[in-house]
Amino acid sequence: MTQNLKGIASGIASDVTGKRILITGGASGIGAASALLLATRGAKVVIGDMAEEMGEAVAKQGQDAGNSIVFKKVDVTSGDEVRALFAFAMEALGGLDVVINNAGIDHKPAPMHELSDEDFDRNIAVNLKGIWHCMRAAIGCMATNGGGHVINVASIAGLRSAPLISAYSAAKHGVMGLTKSAAHEYARVNIRFNAVCPSFIDTPMVRHTMANMNERAQQATIKASPLRRLGEVDEVSGAIAWLASDESSFMNGHAFTLDGGMLA
């Protein structure tokens, strides 16, 4: 039997050298950790985020370490701003191999009947429509450079119930629908779509959500996984780096859970 052993001798974990990568929400948490890891491993990275000061600081940290990483301000709820971000990335990087749609927000935990219109609408606008804006732009760019890989940061809240954060859960279920549908639609032009579905990861977003909980709910959140702790951002960025590498080349339309066994 003939086997394709291409790459086995490279000896580099999740080789992303030279990959042209755009990541949204790269100013904080999972996005910042992923942007810095990818740049450290030789990718050329553009960060898009609405938090300008923090985004510039992440880019500077990467640049000071000698890596290729730049920041561009964007609000993913605006189709026009997303188009401008992708035009910037195409110009700066000369093409796009990987797009990581990670920008997202939480909302104040509340039973469904007490959720405000504002919280519901904002969650759908950022966590669902924002991802769709970026997927649409990514498809246009990648179709011109022979294909690529879109990685959507969803959540286990997109795979199962998420009591008290139902608008967030609805948006993340929507992201799974977009991911799976696009995986079928664009395989013919060599664009893959996968989702990363973390459980509770120790980031500013989760700390913000937990600040709105009582002590009992906080402990339940921390101990929700069989590992009985929150995940660390590095435990997500490492998986994202693997996905961004060619090692994930036969994965398409998949929900990659990083949940310490919560859904097992």
C-alpha 148/C-alpha 174 separation (Å) is: 22
Among 84, 88, 95, 105, binds ligand NAD (CB under 6 A): 105
Among 69, 153, 182, 183, binds ligand NAD (CB under 6 A): 153
- Does the protein bind ligand NAD through residue 200 (CB under 6 A)? yes
C-alpha 56/C-alpha 49 separation (Å) is: 10
Nearer to ligand NAD, 26 or 148 (CB): 26
CA 170 remoteness from chain centre:
17
Among 67, 102, 179, 245, binds ligand NAD (CB under 6 A): 102
Q: Kindly state the number of chain residues that form the binding site for ligand NAD, as judged by CB under 6 A.
A: 29
Q: In this structure, are strands 191-198 and 20-24 parallel, antiparallel, or unpaired?
A: unpaired
Beta-strand ranges (E) seen in the chain are 20-24, 44-49, 69-73, 98-101, 148-153, 191-198, 255-258
Among residue numbers 29 through 58, which ones bind ligand NAD (CB under 6 A)?
29-31, 49-51
Residues taking part in catalysis: 168
Q: Which two tokens stand for residue 22?
A: 């755009």
Cα 62-68-74 angle, rounded to 5 deg? 80
CB 244, min distance to ligand NAD, A: 16
Stretch that binds ligand NAD, among 12-20, 100-108, 143-151, 183-191 (CB under 6 A): 100-108
Could you give phi then psi for residue 156, rounded to 5 degrees? -65, -20
Among residue numbers 75 through 94, which ones bind ligand NAD (CB under 6 A)?
75-77
- Contacts with ligand NAD, residue ranges (CB under 6 A): 24-25, 27-31, 49-51, 74-77, 102-105, 126, 130, 153, 155, 198, 200-201, 203-206
